[in-house]
Amino acid sequence: MLVRNVVTWNTLMCGLADFGAGFRSILNLGFQYFKRMLSQTVGPDSITFSSLLRMSIELNDIEIGRQLHCFITKFGLYAHCLLSSALVGFYAKFGLVGDARCIFDCCLERDLVLWNVMVSCYAMNCLEKEAFLVFSLMRLEGVKGDDFTFSNLLNSSTILGFTELGSQLHSLVIRLSFDLDVVVASALVDMYAKNENIVDARKAFDAMVLRNIISWNTMIVGYGQNGDWKEAMELLGQMFQEDFLPDELTLASVLSSCGNLSSSIETTQLHAYAIKNGFQAFLSIANSLINAYAKSGSIDTAFKCFISIAEPDLVSWTSMIRAYAFHGLPRKSIEIFEEMILNGIRPDRVAFLGVLSACSHGGLVHEGLNYFNLMTNGYHIEPHSEHYTCLIDLLGRAGLLDEAFSVLISMPTEPESDELGAFFGACKVHGNSRLAKWAAEKLFVLEQGKPVNYSLLSSMYASVGCWFKVARVREMMRDLCNHKVPGCSWLE
């Protein structure tokens, strides 16, 4: 072209911004064209700069964005709503909330997009309360909001855990008829589910006029996270009846529910569906199958799923380590752990917890101590409560009560009920009433109304013939605990 105007250059810039994502060379080319544009005395406008800001975000280059901000000010475009929104979004992506707010405050005429970007900026940077303050200011200025506004606010109320605030938003959503929007309605379901109000989540789901795959997944995942695994599986059946096909997330979530219910038949059926529809190639599905088969008692099938993965990730290895530990095969668990390290996969806290659990259940004291030392000194991973529980259980099962006691009192934090419970159980098995009494007294403070602690101490005293102490502990249990619910079990 012999003559190029700003529209011509903007078309080129927008194209590079749209199709250059992930290609640094293409994005850098956009800035070279911008220099040529300036050298040809073509003045950029708001569309030019919004495209360039998108490129700087893709390049993850804060300095280029700041230079563009200077250009925008120099060309007198700083009060333009489109550019203010682009700048707020740019600074939000880099966590510079203060700079974003300054731009927002300097813009005298704010449109709905700018309000939404500011709300999103606070929500994105974990400043949920500030997001609601901006929304309040927005309402005072007569701006009602749209589906994007309410989706962001519902997600923020979920993070804050404010169920009452979420319910108020729900009322406003209904009043403004945004409950008919599938995105907002799905956010409502998610908000109630994550606040453990699964009944209202289901009501919001049933009230939806239109549903998409995200809506179904939100409800199924919500059931799974709240322990309503049977309902999650039933909802999958309803999903099929309404001609919706599950995706990767649906299958992974329902497989997790199948594992928690030890439902081997449903796991096999979902496995067949995954193979038939090409989902087995997804790592999340393969990992879910390993867990589901392991929890259903089919450890051999779990291993077949593991070896079918072309490139197992950390979750795959960890799932198999924990599966063998769960089935009382500590040597197999250790073999998988060692093979994982040989394959260059760096273990994390969960992987070490799996191998420590295997050592604990297999009575492999030497190996367990080595892995605990490897975790803390070799990989510099700080142990959590679960790791200490495994270590104490490992030592306690082997009768090394003094060593387990030393671990308890040397912990960087006060021992919690899990560590004390493991130690207490070991003391009872090995008949050490002195240390058992010490652990029990601490457990009575942490879990005053839990009858199992009193029952264990009482039975231990009975085993050594201290009937007066048995009577005193049972009296304490009657006074401080509710009725003990008898245990139950079932077979599929």
Quick one: which of 81, 73, 161 has its CA closest to 114? Answer: 81
> Measuring CA to CA, how many Å separate 443 from each of 96, 355, 417, 440?
46, 27, 6, 5
Q: How far apart are CA 215 and CA 219, in angstroms?
A: 6
**3-state DSSP of 9-73:** HHHHHHHHHHHCCCCHHHHHHHHHHHHHHHHCCCCCCHHHHHHHHHHHHHCCCHHHHHHHHHHHH
Rounded Cα gap, residues 360 and 339, in angstroms: 20
Percent of the chain residues past pLDDT 70, beyond the cut: 90
Reduced to 3 states (helix: H, G, I; strand: E, B; else coil), residue 434 is helix
* pLDDT on residue 470: 67
Q: Which of 75-84, 137-146, 448-457, 482-491 shows the lowest per-residue confidence on average (mean pLDDT)?
A: 482-491
DSSP codes, 341-399: HHTTPPP-HHHHHHHHHHHHHHT-HHHHHHHHHIIIIIS-PPP-HHHHHHHHHHHHHTT
Question: Which pLDDT belongs to residue 159?
Answer: 78
- Where does the pLDDT of residue 425 fall: very low under 50, low under 70, confident under 90, or very high at 90 and above? confident
What is the reported pLDDT for 80?
A: 80
pLDDT of 288-314, one tens digit each?
999 999 999 999 999 999 999 999 999
Looking at mean pLDDT, say which of 66-75, 332-341, 416-425 comes out highest.
Answer: 332-341
Query: pLDDT of 313-367, one tens digit each?
Result: 999 999 999 999 999 999 999 999 999 999 999 999 999 999 999 999 899 999 9
Segment 383-392 mean pLDDT? 93
- pLDDT, position 333: 95
Q: How many residues does the chain have?
A: 492
pLDDT band at residue 263 under the 50/70/90 scheme: confident
Please compute the mean of the pLDDT values over residues 411-428 and round it to a whole number: 85
Query: Mean of the pLDDT values across residues 153-166?
Result: 80
Q: What's the mean pLDDT in 192-218?
A: 92
- Which amino acid is it at 386? E
Band of pLDDT at residue 13, cut at 50, 70 and 90: confident
pLDDT of residue 98: 92
Q: What is the pLDDT of residue 465?
A: 64
Residue 227 φ/ψ region, left for φ over 0, alpha for ψ in the -120 to 50 degree band, beta for the rest: left
353 closest CA partner among 312, 400, 388: 388
Decide if 469 contacts 436 (C-beta within 8 A). no
Q: Residue 177 to residues 28, 113, 161, 165, 191: CA-CA distances in angstroms?
A: 44, 19, 24, 18, 18
- In degrees rounded to 5, what are phi and psi of residue 76? 70, 30
Provide the pLDDT for residue 248: 93
Q: Which two tokens stand for residue 442?
A: 């601490």
CA separation for the pair 90, 93 (Å, rounded): 5
What's the mean pLDDT in 6-34? 82
Q: What is the pLDDT of residues 222-236, one digit of tens each?
A: 999 998 999 999 999
Q: Which of 304, 229, 299, 241 is nearest to 266 (CA)?
A: 229
Q: Stretch 365-373: mean pLDDT, rounded? A: 95
pLDDT band at 206 (very low <50, low <70, confident <90, very high): very high
Largest CA distance in the chain: 105
Q: For residue 429, what pLDDT is reported?
A: 84
Q: Pull the structure tokens for residue 206.
A: 């049933």
Give residue 379's pLDDT.
94
pLDDT at residue 179, as a whole number: 87
Residue 14's closest CA among 51, 49, 67? 51
Q: From CA 288, how far away is CA 365, in angstroms rounded? A: 31
> In whole angstroms, what is the distance from residue 447 CA to residue 424 CA?
13
Q: What is the pLDDT of residue 4?
A: 78
